[in-house]
């Protein structure tokens, strides 16, 4: 979950990506006739990174904090990394299941598995990866738009 839970009407609300990482069904329920989905989980299966470590109270990034501990326990994942990897596996399985049951017209799969969950300082790299993924998917997008236009005039 990226967003902090919020209380609303006596219940806690959490990031919807926990149960529906690529919400195609929600788009259809809201009336979307053509859906181009972005699956941010396509490249993260089982990956945890130094940048996935939580920041400390001084605002240091996870990768800054863990870099000083690299020599100790080399190869042994932290509890937090195990949790992040577990969440990645769960979200990958949920996304695959949901996409199989309710496929979008086009799925864009940016290759961002090498960037940690908390590496906000790498936004430019994420944007570039997204742009590249759209370029790779452009022929499929154009085909889907052409089919949609032919069917719906």
Average pLDDT rounded to a whole number, residues 132-149: 97
What global pTM score does this model have? 0.71
Which of 104, 105, 106, 123 minimizes the C-alpha distance to 115? Answer: 123
CA distances from 17 to 52, 60, 61 (A): 17, 26, 23
pLDDT in tens, 99-121: 999 999 999 999 998 888 778 89
pLDDT top residue among 63 and 7:
7
In this structure, the dihedral spanned by the alpha carbons of residues 113, 16, 119 and 93, taken in order and rounded to 10 degrees, is -20
pLDDT top residue among 93 and 131:
131
Residue 57 has pLDDT above 80, yes or no: no
With cut-offs at 50, 70 and 90, classify the pLDDT of residue 84: confident
pLDDT given at position 37: 97
Residue 47 has pLDDT above 60, yes or no: no
């Amino acid at each position: 979950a990226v967003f902090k839970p919020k209380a609303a009407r006596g219940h806690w609300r959490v990031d919807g990506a926990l149960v529906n990482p690529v919400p195609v069904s929600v788009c259809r329920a809201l009336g979307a006739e053509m859906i181009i989905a972005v699956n941010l989980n396509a490249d993260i299966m089982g990956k945890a990174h130094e940048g996935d470590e939580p920041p400390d109270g001084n605002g240091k990034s996870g990768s800054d904090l863990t870099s000083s501990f690299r020599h100790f326990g080399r190869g042994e994942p932290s509890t937090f990394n195990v949790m992040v990897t577990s969440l990645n596996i769960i979200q990958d399985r949920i996304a695959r299941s949901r996409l199989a049951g309710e496929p979008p017209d086009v799925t864009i799969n940016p290759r961002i598995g090498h960037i940690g969950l908390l590496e906000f300082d790498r936004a430019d790299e994420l944007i570039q990866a997204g742009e590249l993924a759209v370029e790779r998917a452009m022929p499929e997008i154009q085909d889907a738009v052409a089919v949609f236009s032919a069917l719906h005039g």
